[in-house]
Amino acid sequence: MVHQSAGQVNAVTLRAVLFDHDGTLVDSEPIHFLVWKEVLAAYGFALTEEQYRERYAGVPTLANACDLVQRFGVAEDPATLADAKNAATRDYLRRSAFPLLPGVREAIATLTGLGLRLAVVTGASAFGVDATLRAHGLASRFAVVVSVEDVRHSKPAPDCYLLALERLGLPAGDCLAIEDTGHGLAAAAGAGIRCLALPTAMSQHHDFTQAAAVLDGMDAAVDFVQRLCRGDRNAG
């Protein structure tokens, strides 16, 4: 169900769909919260789920570390704190991949069947995306992957999406992004890419006013894209 709209995507030239990773392709935010909670407990700080939802869901690890140090006085260098979080996440991913969100595998198959190119554009580290694509057998489905290591400024800056456009060799008007957070939406919008927002329990309070549509899940996003490809003017 479309909750709001902000213009139309050109159905004739839609050639690629660019997915965020955490919270969009995989149900990872609850795991990231638990990992952060464990890391911060070593510094005597008890991170609450409300704090994580409000400030840290969908935000790159180093930016979160900087905020935790500045806002709450966590006694650590931000880079060292981010390294500890990344190391703990790697440990998790060595044991188990993030689970795909409902409808994701079907969405990838459907959009590929429509002849659309797919990309992952994330503020997360490459190891997380690689683990997802490898564990779920999806690496061959994505033409481009852009992660936090690939850009100087991560989301909400547009750099990651601009790089994805460059690697795809496509203009922004030929692409559609799918994001679950306001930070990701801002990054896509900053690159001139229309974006569908799929809020989660962690991000439902974010500002999605720039979205082409705010939808209630991946199935609704696929339906939106299919209607665009059919030239349905009501899609946007």
- 173 neighbors 10 (Cβ within 8 angstroms): yes
Level-2 CATH architecture, domain 29-95: Orthogonal Bundle (1.10)
Distance CA 32, CA 21 (A): 13
pLDDT at residue 5, rounded to an integer = 47
Distance CA 3, CA 31 (A): 28
Could you confirm whether 207 is annotated as catalytic?
no
φ and ψ at 196, to 5 degrees? -90, 135
pLDDT at residue 64, rounded to an integer = 95
pTM of the model: 0.85
Q: Could you report the average pLDDT of every consecutive run of 10 residues in the chain (236 residues)?
A: 48 86 93 96 95 87 95 96 95 92 97 97 92 95 96 95 98 97 96 97 92 97 94 59
Q: Which of 22, 77, 159, 232 is labelled catalytic?
A: 22
pLDDT at residue 202, rounded to an integer = 85
Could you confirm whether 27 is annotated as catalytic?
no
pLDDT at residue 233, rounded to an integer = 47
List the chain domain ranges. 16-27+98-235, 29-95
pLDDT at residue 234, rounded to an integer = 53
Level-2 CATH architecture, domain 16-27+98-235: 3-Layer(aba) Sandwich (3.40)
Report angle CA 141, 58, 51 to the nearest 5 degrees. 155
